[in-house]
Amino acid sequence: MALIAIALIAISAAAKDISYAAGYLLIPSSPCSDALQGTDLASLNPAHYAFYDGWGFGITQAFHIAGENQNNLSLRWGNQKLFAGLSAYIASENEIEGRTHPTEEPEYLFGAHQAVFTASLGWSPKKAFAIAAAAKRISEKIELNEMNATAFDIGAIVQPSDNITVQIAASNVGDKVRYKDVLYSLPLMYSAGLWLKYPILSGGISVQKPDITPIRATIAAERNLTDWLFIRAGLIYGQDSRLFSAGASFRYDGWEFSYSFVPYRNGLGIRHSIGLEYHSL
């Protein structure tokens, strides 16, 4: 989920019995992807932005738990053969409630911070096929404990026709992280997706399998009401914390302003995301 790993730990685990949860598995790259429940695999597949000529950038700000701050900045460039991208995701949460055993009131408060810096490079040997890899540096801090790791994502994308896109990817291949005296492997994620695009209505499905949790599946659709106004929604199965999402975007002359709405279960509130993107024409 889009919450940083630390916030998830604070909510779901006791402070002295922490199971490492990887919030960076599903970092929303934009409100558009967030509203689709990640069905487009934009956050998981470094080859997602193949077949784009020119350059672009995106800025995303997410609002969720009080005191939490989530920001994402991305840059990308591509031509007929090569494409590349850079992104920086920074999140922080202050005054997280800590407990050593179930109590009504927290025993103490602590802070958590996460930063993920990613660089990707891809190649399209044929018009309808591309492969890409990304390297990312993950830095986290919980209380006074720091965790750093390097991970890699790999992926491929195929477009057998203008209306059909197929993607596969593997994420978080690589390093281990140490929290206090315990060494944890980064949770590997396998994903595959199908997207069908038509003039008025587009939609798709995806399957995602983290190696530490059960398989999850998503389905999403996007509708353009006009040439400049788009609405979208998504459903996810196999995720205890959320079920559906929705959003909209306004596009004009290469610019896109977007918004997403993701309600969480179990009293975890609602995540609102806003973003601004530009694609050179």
Task: Inform me whether the pLDDT recorded for 62 exceeds 90.
Answer: no
C-alpha span between 124 and 136 (Å, rounded): 22
- pLDDT given for residue 139 in this prediction: 86
- Average pLDDT over the chain, rounded to an integer: 83
Q: Which domain holds residue 123?
A: 5-279
Least trusted range by pLDDT, from 22-26, 52-56, 148-152, 214-218: 22-26
Q: How confident is the model at residue 253, as a pLDDT?
A: 93
The two tokens of residue 1 are 């989920």
- The pLDDT of residue 127 is 85
pLDDT number for residue 7 = 35
pLDDT tens, 95-133? 666 667 676 677 777 777 889 999 999 999 988 999 999
pLDDT confidence bin for 158, thresholds 50/70/90: very high
pLDDT confidence of residue 95: 66
Q: Which of 83-87, 109-113, 129-133, 165-169 has the lowest mean pLDDT?
A: 109-113
pLDDT digits (tens, 9 = 90+) for 218-256: 999 999 999 999 999 999 998 877 889 999 999 999 999
Mean pLDDT of 149-172: 94
Q: Write down the pLDDT at residue 45.
A: 94
Q: Which two tokens stand for residue 27?
A: 């970092």
Distances (CA, A) of 258 to 8, 178, 199: 26, 37, 20
Query: DSSP state, 35?
Result: H
Among residues 234, 198, 227, 248, the alpha carbon closest in space to that of 41 is found at 234
Tell me the pLDDT tens digit for each residue of 182-220: 777 778 889 999 999 998 899 999 999 988 788 999 999
Query: Phi and psi for 74 in degrees, rounded to 5?
Result: -135, 145
Q: What percent of the chain shows pLDDT beyond 70?
A: 83
Domains in the chain: how many in total? 1
Q: Does residue 53 or residue 235 have the better pLDDT?
A: 235
CATH of the domain at 260: 2.40.160.60
Whether pLDDT at 271 is above 90 = no
Tokens coding 86: 């850079």
In the three-class reduction of DSSP (H, G, I as helix; E, B as strand; rest coil), residue 107 is classed as coil
Distance in angstroms (rounded) separating the CA atoms of residues 217 and 238: 7
pLDDT surpassing 70 at residue 5? no
